[in-house]
Structure 1
């Protein structure tokens, strides 16, 4: 057996089979490239589902982490530490909001937002106790906790985890009329992804997000934007909502906020929303720890320059231009997305998304499939145009 085969066999024998990874074993990575245990290099065109927006081993982020490792890594929120205030202040300013509630993972941020919306509904809006409802969209992916999968429409994510958490109403994504019909006096929030990632990088119809913003204001309902995958530069703006000129009441952030170094997430809103919490009502041992704040601060500083948003815009235009040339050729049926983020529907005659991903892996390019014959392309924002073109050449070769 090769080293790769031995390590995969060991992983299969001793870890739960909750993932179906591509058959390679990564040993090191830098920028947009990863190297496996056999010494073969691969172009990363997935970027950890946007967790690696700034590339593997970004020197600025690694340096920030190393410096903090020598000082203090964890205090718990039982004490203040000297990176917390600056992190919360700078992240709030980046979002144009007043307060930050730091957590660790994206799913924790979503769970925190659900609790926030319900508490706000009872204490501020005046919804009778126990009746708060949240409207979500079909095809959503907000995480894998019991509460979150309770409002998933993906049978694979939801099956066998009941009984499910009540209090959610599901409407079709992009259907403003259905959303309007679903909102009642007991509705406390509308929770949406500005672009649905796991569903295949689905961009809603023009005018949908502004319509959601208008409706939620009209009905005194919080608009919660899950920007965990779409935010922090991926689409060419700091937040995907910006493409439609929309500012939600609550931003949910994660993935790229940790710079590919540590898990960092946050709920960001104004005081009239996050101010509903009192000491002891919600918390996290690791949320807002010194190491996370040090890395998160550097991420905020990098985004403040606008450099990465600009790269995602320019390279994204090139990416989509090249991918759209494949539509109608009998190879690709549809391309969606914004910035350096694309969902590519492969003609089933060429194979499933998994099969295309495996063929690309054999040619040194890493992508991931979703929902049948769709592959997702989301390279680190630091990728060069030359490397991006090389990756696209491999896709064209696989489909030839």
Structure 2
């Protein structure tokens, strides 16, 4: 009852406009040019100071409800003393042991937990890494070593990472011939049932090239939350099994309960040979990732063929194990499903607007697809001014990225939905302030899409789609 009345009060409150980025953020935005541009795809020009619960505060004291979660990493919100203590106590006792040479129990306990929650009744092993990208490399090395074949089939508009092999598996990045070799094949990722037959036929035709594995995201993340037809995964899985091809799933964005299950692939009733996880498994408290797969596949790699000095880092493993325990104990997967359905019920009506194409996703991995290039970035900047911090991505920055912590409450979800509906209404009625658009153009270093530059056709695109 109290939460009901609190909801009514919050929804009745007048929305305040935040002047962001503020003075301190603008200063740091300028100083950030010290960091190479390849790592500096700034969304809004905002620098963060702190976080608590499901909110973040910037260096100017502006407070936002977080709907980006550090790129789907901060799964259990901010300021979790229990996770910090798990890390700190381990670090005080033993800050590091290079696992290749010296065992530690934290790495073994985390491996046990990951194996326990990973689907498949076969014997499994784990390879620890520091990032999703390097784990993609590890999985590809395993596939090639185990099968004795080189070919890897991935999907168009996929984003698997930026290391030597993961960047070749991706097509969303801007690559040159310097990064590519002849071992990768990219096919269309289906969005409709009627596409499946032709896509499977194309994949089957590639098997004669000597294919080691199929690598796929359960839901394409950076492409804009693209959910494939449900039957596609089963058909693809059986095709791979019939032809001795490994089935590898990139769960870097979809792991740790984001879709309401431990793994995104569990929504499609398929058991992969190998899964890759990262981002959310540590809740943002430690840089860690892992490859989990069938024992005989993982152990096809010989000693020192995939290792890192900080792989199996004791404090990171302790913190990650704690995060996974919290997700389970606090029923955050159930919450992700429940709150995701609430957001869907509030936002799916926006598909009737001229400036919205689609609303899609599973659990708390959601995307609002707006009409054209850069409009999601402008919508994001306007949300910022109302106190909501979403992301935006997609091939043309056309999808508003909605990936809050799994701890999001019903009241917070309704508040966020109210802001998003307000912003879309402003777009629909050409009421987005010019100052908002100018800020997006000025501070979004990585946001202006390649086909719609600021200096050529940008305003025309916005006018065409009723944004201004």
Fold match by TM threshold 0.5: yes
- Local SS of the residue matching 1:184: helix
For 2:132, the equivalent position in structure 1 comes to: 106
- Residue 393 (1) aligns with residue 415 (2): no
Q: Could you tell me which runs of 5 or more consecutive residues in structure 1 were left unpaired when the two chains were aligned.
A: none
For 1:317, the equivalent position in structure 2 comes to: 341
- Residue 73 (1) aligns with residue 91 (2): no
- Local SS of the residue matching 1:100: strand
For 2:180, the equivalent position in structure 1 comes to: 164
Residues in 2 aligned to 1:280 and 1:293: alpha-carbon distance in whole angstroms: 21
Query: Is 303-312 or 95-104 further displaced after alignment?
Result: 303-312
- Map 1:248-397 to 2 at 5 A: 248-305=272-329, 307-348=331-372, 352-370=375-393, 371-397=396-422
Comparing both structures, which one devotes a greater share of its residues to helix?
2
1:140/1:199 contact within 8 Å kept: yes
Residues in 2 aligned to 1:316 and 1:55: alpha-carbon distance in whole angstroms: 16
For 2:461, the equivalent position in structure 1 comes to: none
For 1:180, the equivalent position in structure 2 comes to: 204
Deviation at 1:150, TM superposition (A): 2.4
- Residue 33 (1) aligns with residue 55 (2): yes
Deviation at 1:282, TM superposition (A): 2.0
Residues in 2 aligned to 1:322 and 1:198: alpha-carbon distance in whole angstroms: 23
Query: Is 380-389 or 55-64 further displaced after alignment?
Result: 55-64
Q: Could you tell me which runs of 5 or more consecutive residues in structure 2 were left unpaired when the two chains were aligned.
A: 1-21, 191-198, 426-468
TM-score with structure 2 length normalisation? Answer: 0.79
Sort the Cα spacing of 1:142 and 1:166 in 2 relative to 1 into closer, same or farther, 3 A: same
Deviations 1:50-80 (A, max 9, x none): 1111112223322211221211121112111
2:282/2:324 contact within 8 Å kept: no
Sort the Cα spacing of 1:305 and 1:245 in 2 relative to 1 into closer, same or farther, 3 A: farther
- Local SS of the residue matching 2:165: helix
Sort the Cα spacing of 1:324 and 1:92 in 2 relative to 1 into closer, same or farther, 3 A: same
- Map 1:49-88 to 2 at 5 A: 49-77=71-99, 78-88=101-111
1:335/1:344 contact within 8 Å kept: yes
Query: Is 135-144 or 57-66 further displaced after alignment?
Result: 57-66
Sort the Cα spacing of 1:35 and 1:163 in 2 relative to 1 into closer, same or farther, 3 A: closer
For 2:145, the equivalent position in structure 1 comes to: 119
For 1:237, the equivalent position in structure 2 comes to: 261
1:171/1:182 contact within 8 Å kept: no
Q: Superposition RMSD on alpha carbons, in Å?
A: 1.8
2:106/2:314 contact within 8 Å kept: yes
Residues in 1 aligned to 2:236 and 2:208: alpha-carbon distance in whole angstroms: 14
Residues in 1 aligned to 2:332 and 2:201: alpha-carbon distance in whole angstroms: 36
Match of 2:159 among 131, 141, 144: 141
Query: Is 180-189 or 251-260 further displaced after alignment?
Result: 180-189
Structure ID, larger Rg = 2
Q: When the two structures are aligned, how many residues end up with a matched partner?
A: 388
Match of 2:115 among 71, 92, 101: 92
Deviation at 1:185, TM superposition (A): 6.6
Deviation at 1:158, TM superposition (A): 2.9
Residues in 1 aligned to 2:233 and 2:380: alpha-carbon distance in whole angstroms: 32
- Residue 6 (1) aligns with residue 6 (2): no
- Local SS of the residue matching 1:6: helix
